[in-house]
Amino acid sequence: MSKTPKAGSLAARAVLASFVAVSIWLAVAPAVAGSRIVLATAGSSPDWLLGVWRFAGIDALALPGAGWTYYRVLIAASILFAVLVMLAPRIDRRALWATVIGLFAIFTLAPPLLSQDVFSYIAYARLGVDHGLNPYSHRPFDIPRDPVFGYAGSKDAVNVYGPFFTLLIYPLAKLSVPAAFWTLKAVAAGAALWLVRIAGDLADRVEAGGNRAIVLVGLCPAMLVHVVAGAHNEALTMLLVFGGVSAAVRGRERAGGLIATLAAGVKASALVPLPFMLAAARDKRSMFTGMFAAAVLAPLTALLIFGSDALNGLNLLSSNQDRTSRYSLPQVTVDALGRLFQSLDHAAAIDVTRGLFVLVLAAVVVLLLVRTWRRPETWLANAGWATFGVLLASAWLVPWYMLWLLPFAAVSRDRALVAATVLLSGYTMAIAIPFSP
């Protein structure tokens, strides 16, 4: 027996309420001194770091095994999210927006979850402004007495972000570490919320389902836990990309190409959809003109202000690809081979596996570009599949990279892409969890 619309909407509201409850726990529970979920507590647990929810933090998340506890709840949120994607058309739009805004506020006020990258941003700013060191050739290890040092992640890594982002964060060096941290949290949340708005509006315009787009982008656990609470710069990157996409879809192709390409000056991952935008453009000359202007501006800015080392920040295959995350597909493949062949040289195998994945990815991207050229109306889905392929082929896969993909799935009419995106999002949830005995 099929459900009536009323029954369907009741079920949708029940799932939405359950998702909200679980999400609030994910935001609030880790706000405890020594939290294993707030990785920056390695540098200490001051009140400003734990945020306003510290009165409700759960002591168990400061104990060994906290990662498993948090992971189980995160998986429950991921399952509820998948159901919400299916039920999205049955949810009132105003209720959806109230949920997104409310949860964004809660996660913005939460401590930085499962990552220390936001403090690395601050460290790069302080390297350049306070210590006179080029963040593209120096590391946080070079400023061990700086107040941000204890909280920063990847202390041995130089800046891998684009010159526009680096210039944007430089003024933060004049703020205290707490003020800089909460400023970046506010920027990430604001950019993410604006991105949700663009995705919802664009999905309505191309008849992909605005409600589904709002759920996919705004309520994905990767967005809430990692991008909003973690203050990752993926939000700013994808806001620029989709600002450009929105302009292009509305016929302003020169502006669209310019804005979307400027995003590569924040993070090189923004380069992935650009060939598809150009292949689908009605006025390819205008689109190319906009892209070319931004493509010249970014490296010129990098060279003039930061020197040639800064060009690494515009490289899609950045130094992150010299590392592997535990559940990236290349790493999982090598681990499986290692169980079959005990004498396997893991270092050599991972290099070969990466190369093979990149070759397959290149072939898939070419096929998708050909499809886009022949059928321009498919470009949003094709860009999404290309991004999906990049995530599968990446040796360094982390949950916040899902934001590269979520908006494209949201504005496409490709159900297979939506399903693949939801599944991959759930899979990536384990990657950043600090599992321990």
231: left (phi over 0), alpha (psi -120 to 50) or beta: left
Q: Report the distance separating Cα 184 and Cα 228, nearest Å.
A: 10
- Roughly how many angstroms between the first and final C-alpha of the chain, as a whole number? 47
The answer to whether the beta carbons of residues 221 and 425 sit under 8 Å apart is yes
317-352 per-position pLDDT tens digit: 555 555 677 889 999 999 898 888 888 887 788 889
Average pLDDT, integer, range 51-65: 96
Residues in the chain: 437
Structural domains in the chain (count): 1
351-407 per-position pLDDT tens digit: 899 899 999 999 999 999 999 999 999 999 999 999 999 999 998 999 999 999 999
Average pLDDT, integer, range 85-90: 96
**Residue 171 placed within a domain:** no
% of the chain surpassing 90 pLDDT: 86
Q: Report the distance separating Cα 210 and Cα 91, nearest Å.
A: 11
Q: Check pLDDT > 70 for residue 136.
A: yes
pLDDT at 1: 41
Exposure of 77 in the CB half-sphere (CA atoms within 13 A): 26
What are the distances in angstroms from CA 37 to CA 150, 325, 329? 16, 18, 24
Q: Report the distance separating Cα 95 and Cα 366, nearest Å.
A: 41
Residue 230 CA to its chain's centroid (Å): 10
**Residue 151 placed within a domain:** no
292-311 per-position pLDDT tens digit: 999 999 999 999 999 988 88
**Residue 325 placed within a domain:** yes
Does the model's pTM come out above 0.85? yes
What are the distances in angstroms from CA 310 to CA 120, 135, 171? 16, 8, 18
Query: What is the chain's mean pLDDT, rounded?
Result: 94
**Residue 46 placed within a domain:** yes
Lookup: tokens for 75 = 């998986």
The answer to whether the beta carbons of residues 334 and 349 sit under 8 Å apart is yes
pLDDT at 2: 42
68-87 per-position pLDDT tens digit: 999 999 999 999 999 999 99
**Residue 149 placed within a domain:** no
> Any idea which of 224-233, 311-320, 375-384 has the lowest mean pLDDT?
311-320
3-state secondary structure the chain: CCCCHHHHHHHHHHHHHHHHHHHHHHHHCCCCCCCCCCHHHHHCCCHHHHCHHHHHCCHHHHCCCHHHHHHHHHHHHHHHHHHHHHHHHHCCHHHHHHHHHHHHHHHHCCCCCCCCHHHHHHHHHHHHHCCCCCCCCCCHHHCCCCCCCCCCCCCCCCCCCCHHHHHHHHHHHHCCHHHHHHHHHHHHHHHHHHHHHHHHHHHHHCCCCHHHHHHHHHCCHHHHHHHHCCCCCHHHHHHHHHHHHHHHHCCCHHHHHHHHHHHHHCCHHHHCCHHHHHHHCCCHHHHHHHHHHHHHHHHHHHHHHHCHHHHHHHCCCCHHHHCCCCCCHHHHHHHHHHHHCCCCCHHHHHHHHHHHHHHHHHHHHHHHHHHHHHCHHHHHHHHHHHHHHHHHHCCCCCHHHHHHCHHHHHHCCCHHHHHHHHHHHHHHCCCCCCCCC
**Residue 152 placed within a domain:** no
What are the distances in angstroms from CA 33 to CA 42, 48, 49, 56, 67? 10, 11, 10, 11, 15
The answer to whether the beta carbons of residues 432 and 115 sit under 8 Å apart is yes
**Residue 147 placed within a domain:** no
% of the chain surpassing 70 pLDDT: 96
Give me the domain span that covers residue 82: 5-117+176-428
Q: Check pLDDT > 70 for residue 3.
A: no
**Residue 434 placed within a domain:** no
181-195 per-position pLDDT tens digit: 999 999 999 999 999
Q: Report the distance separating Cα 73 and Cα 90, nearest Å.
A: 25
Residue 103 corresponds to which amino acid? L
Residue 263: name the closest of 396, 164, 407, 191 by CA.
164
